[in-house]
Amino acid sequence: MALILIVDDDEDMRLSLEALVHSIGHEAAIFDSGTALLTYTRLHEARCVISDMRMPGMSGLELLQHLAQRMPGVPVILISAYVTDQLIERAALAGAQCLLKKPIAPADMIGKLQTILARSR
């Protein structure tokens, strides 16, 4: 069972993603900010991080930069309701696995998670 960390300032999105992760047999921990995630005591156990792009305080891209320093190689899936070609490029250059557009089809997120987790065994 993999630990997936979920960061989104929208409680409904956090709970929805948490339920989705549990539905495929993995453990999830949810956070309302990047700052809260970075203080999590089990941070280094994470096999994947799912983060919203637009949040008060630290953005998803800023969180990705912090994670790259503290946990090099941890896969990060970014999500946003405001996806543009420029944002997709910025996310890719920053090292994100992908940028998914909200609302996210559950099958798309499950597919991405299963691919990432299969590669990181």
Give me the domain span that covers residue 71: 3-119
Q: What confidence category does residue 121 fall into, taking pLDDT thresholds of 50, 70 and 90?
A: low
Q: Cβ atoms within 10 A of the Cβ of 78, count?
A: 27
pLDDT tens figures, 22-44? 999 999 999 999 999 999 999 99
The pairs formed by 101-104 with CB atoms below 8 angstroms and a separation of 24 or more are 102/13, 104/79
How many folded domains does the chain comprise?
1
Instruction: Find tokens 């696995």 and name the residue.
Output: 97
CATH number at residue 77: 3.40.50.2300
In 3-state terms, the chain is what percent helix, strand and coil (to 5)?
Answer: 45, 20, 30
